[in-house]
Each structure stands twice: as C-alpha cells, then as structure tokens.
Amino acid sequence: MIQWGMLKKPSPHQTELEMVTLESLVPADHLLRKIDAVIDFSFIHDRVSGLYCPDNGRPALDPVLMFKALFLGYLFGIRSERQLVREIEVNVAYRWFLRMKLTEAVFDASTLSQNRRRRYTDTSVAQDIFDGIVEQAIKHGLVDGTVLYTDSTHLKANANKNKWDKKVVAKSRSAYWDDLDLAIEEDRETHGKKPLKAKERHPVEKETKISRTDRDAGYMVRDGKPKGFFYLDHRTVDGRLGIITDTHATPANVHDSIPYLDRLDRQRRRFGLDVHAVGLDAGYATAGIAKGLEDRDILGVTGYRRPNLRKGFMPKRKYIYEKERDAYRCPNGQILSYATTDRNGYRHYRSDPAKCKTCPLLASCTANAKHQKTVTRHVWQDARDKADAYRLTDWGKRLYKRRKETVERSFADAKQLHGHRYARFRGLTAVKVQCLLAATAQNIKKIALALAPKPQHSPA
C-alpha cells in the first residue's frame, strides 16, 4: 500500500496576527476599482451641504460615503439596507471603496433610513446626482444623443394586492391638451363649423382599485402582464452604449404616452442633446406623440399594435381616405363626407343612410339602427401616418430592432442584476428615488466598464 504523506489537522488561523493592507486584498480587476478610477463622486458633497447644519448637532455621516454605500446596494442587488450594512462589515472590497479601515465600525442601518425620511424627503437630490453622472458620461464621449430609446417596465409595489378600496379617480392629464384644443378650434373653423362652447377640459374619471397599503401605487390591468398594484419606470437610454439619460416613475395605471413628451424635452434641455430620432414601443403610437415629435423635428419609429376588431365587421383600413376631397370612400364606392370635429380631436365622416340601406356590405359594415356608417380621423392623423411609414423603411427597421439591445437590455439587467423587480419602499416619491439611484448605479457600471483599460494578451 502506497502512502502519499502524513495527514495533519488544520490549525486555527483566525486569531493569528497578519500585516495586510486593504489595497492588497482587493483584486486588481474588481469592478469597484474600475468605478473608483473613473467616477468622480465629490460633487455630491457640494450638492447636499445646504441640507446640513454647519455649526450645531452631532457630526453627520459623510453624504458621499452614504450615497456610495447606497450605490453598492444597487450595483450588487442588495435590496435590504440592513443586509447592505452587514455586507459592508465583512466585504473588504466594499470597505476599500468607501475608504473605511478594516477595524472601523460601520454606520447603523437606521442612519440610512433616517436620512431618507428626514433629510432627503423629495427627488431633487437623487435627480441631481443622476444628472451629474450622465454629464460625466457625456464628457467622456459615451453619449451620442442623436437616437434615444424609451420604454417602461413595472415594479411590484410593496402592497398586498388583496387589500384595496374602490374609488373614482381622474386619469392623468396629457401634456398636449392645450395644443389639441387649438388644433380642434382651427379644424372646426376650416370646415365652417361654429366653435365649441368654452369648457375646461378635465381628465376622464374612472373607478379603480386603491391600495390600503400604498395608496400611490396603481392597479395594473394589461394584456400579458400580472394584475395587481405596481409602479412603472419610464426609462430612456442613449442609442450608442445604452447610457440611461432619463428615468421617471409613475403609478402603473398611467399610460406610457402621458409623460413622454415632457421627459423628452427635459433631456434635450438639461443635457443639450440634439435628438434626431427616437425608437418607441407600440404603447407610444398615438397621434399626440407623433404630432409632438413632428413639431420638434424628430423622427419617431414606433411599434405596431394590431387593432381590436369586431367579429364579422370590416377593418377601418378598408375605408380609404381621399385627402383632396377630405372624405372617405367605403369598399362599395360610397363617399363618407365630413360631418363634425368632436372635443377629443376626432373628425367624423358619415355615409348616406339611403345608399347604405340597400348596400350588400351593410351587415359587415355597421350595426347602426339608421343604417349610417361613421368613420373617425384624428386631426393629427397625418403625423401618425408618417410615423407609421418610418417603421416600414429599411433604416426604421434597423433603428427599431436596436430597442432589444438598448432599453430592453437595460431593463433586463436592472431586474436580473440590480434588484429592480420590486419597489423597495412605499409611496411614489420613494419609488422615484429608487428608480433614479438604480439607473445611476447602472450608468456608473457602464461608464467604468467602457473606460476600463482592455486586458493585454501576449501573442501565442
């Protein structure tokens, strides 16, 4: 029998004294080293200094250290602040990143929560920090700004979906309502119609479920999506490297198109982006969005959504719009003439009931008791038709295909790697801050990886 060596019992090394430095314990290729080398966090101190008392009270936790600690939680998917503090206690890379000694006591988790509740009570600080990191990406040449991609994803609210009350609430106001009212007035005047009676436009009221746990969360009912209380993260990314240029949280029952134009204008104004084109999901394929992009001289490529059709009836595309005579022609050749423009911005084109009554296509055309067919057309439909045409061009197909590699990839990383499936806190303000800090962490990671020196491979 061959004996390979003597077996010894391992001796306890935990109590041995060793001479080490934090610098030597952190691997050279660690993500936090790459971040520390290229990201300047010092601007955070100047931004929040006004929130602290200069000459009274106990010494506060360094705000730069605090936000860097929060970014650790988002970078490595640590959702709990208590767990984050425990990880900082034992992880030498985290201590190195925060400039904390091995023997230095870590702050308490309540320090984070109390700062959030008492000092950082709105989104302004988180928004400014997000903007500051985007500006650093722009200075490094990582943001092109000519093509932007926007979409939304849902975050499950920290609320019991079975505890709710029914309440009638007003839906969100569209940003382009004032422009639409002017367009309706001009359209009616062009057609020789009297102006509509002056009436303040109010959002449509609808009965919906309100959570008893988190009253800001919205009850979501969407095809292919889970039902319950959620928030939406409306995110825009740059087409070059996928740097996030905007994030905006809303309750889940707010339509994607509602905040879009305002958020687009904010990015152009805040960062000076010269946007030439945008790629959008089918949820943004509205006449209002198409007109808004046209007015801003931006080409919009939106997805296609199959219209809902009544079984047994012909689709609207069978009725051809003739622009020269401003009328529709039905499949049987009859002209549907302009009748009026309603308060929602739709022109009504109606047929002659006497002709429809004997039409062989009547049964598949309309169920109207007076045998009259009505086709509607939005006052901004021309802009919508142009946007639909862009999608069918070669460049439009290539641009829209990039959505999967940009904004959809950004959301996938956020959920898979950064704990973005759930709202960590309750209330819209807290969720907005979460979305801003999560997006900032993703940008920090992207900037660091993009600027990190490439490994040198020796020739074989």
Q: What is the pLDDT of residues 300-312, one digit of tens each?
A: 999 888 878 888 8
In sign, the C-alpha dihedral spanning 444, 132, 130, 255 is: negative
- Read off the pLDDT band of 389 (50, 70, 90): very high
177 & 32 share domain: no
Residue 434: its pLDDT value, please? 95
For a pLDDT cut of 90, what percent of the chain falls above it? 62
Same domain, 359 and 373: yes
pLDDT mean across residues, the chain: 89
Question: Residues near 363 by Cβ (< 8 Å), separated by ≥ 6?
Answer: 312
At 441 the pLDDT is: 96
Residues with Cβ within 8 Å of 202's Cβ and at least 6 positions away in sequence, in order, are 170
Domain count, the chain: 3
Strands (E) across 317-434 are located at 320-322, 327-329, 335-341, 346-350, 374-378
pLDDT of residue 457: 60
Q: Both 161 and 251 in a single domain? A: yes
Of the two residues 58 and 239, the one the predictor is more confident about is 239
Residue 334 lies in a domain: yes
Evaluate whether residue 127 is within a structural domain. no
Burial class (CB in 10 A: 0-12, 13-18, 19+), 318: middle
Rounded CA separation 183/255 (Å): 22
On whether residue 267 sits in a domain, the answer given is yes
Hey, what are 103's tokens? 């023997």
pLDDT of residue 209: 86
Dump pLDDT digits (tens) for 308-335: 888 889 999 999 999 999 999 999 999 9
Kindly state whether residue 16 falls inside one of the protein's structural domains: no
Express each pLDDT in 288-301 by its tens digit.
999 999 999 999 99
Q: pLDDT class for 195, splitting at 50, 70, 90?
A: confident
Helices 428-451 and 407-417 cross at an angle (nearest 10°) of 100
* Structural domain that includes position 348: 316-378
Q: Per mean pLDDT, which range of 12-16, 134-138, 161-165, 378-382 is the poorest?
A: 12-16
Residues 371, 403, single domain; the answer is no
Q: Do 197 and 54 share a structural domain?
A: no
Same domain, 220 and 98: no
> Same domain, yes or no, for 235 and 332?
no
Please report which confidence band the pLDDT of residue 337 belongs to, taking 50, 70 and 90 as the band edges.
very high
Domain identity same for 407 and 262: yes
Residues 158 and 113 reside in one and the same domain: no
Q: Which pTM was predicted?
A: 0.89
> How far is Cα of residue 230 from the mean position of the Cα atoms in its chain?
14
Average of pLDDT values for 209-218? 90
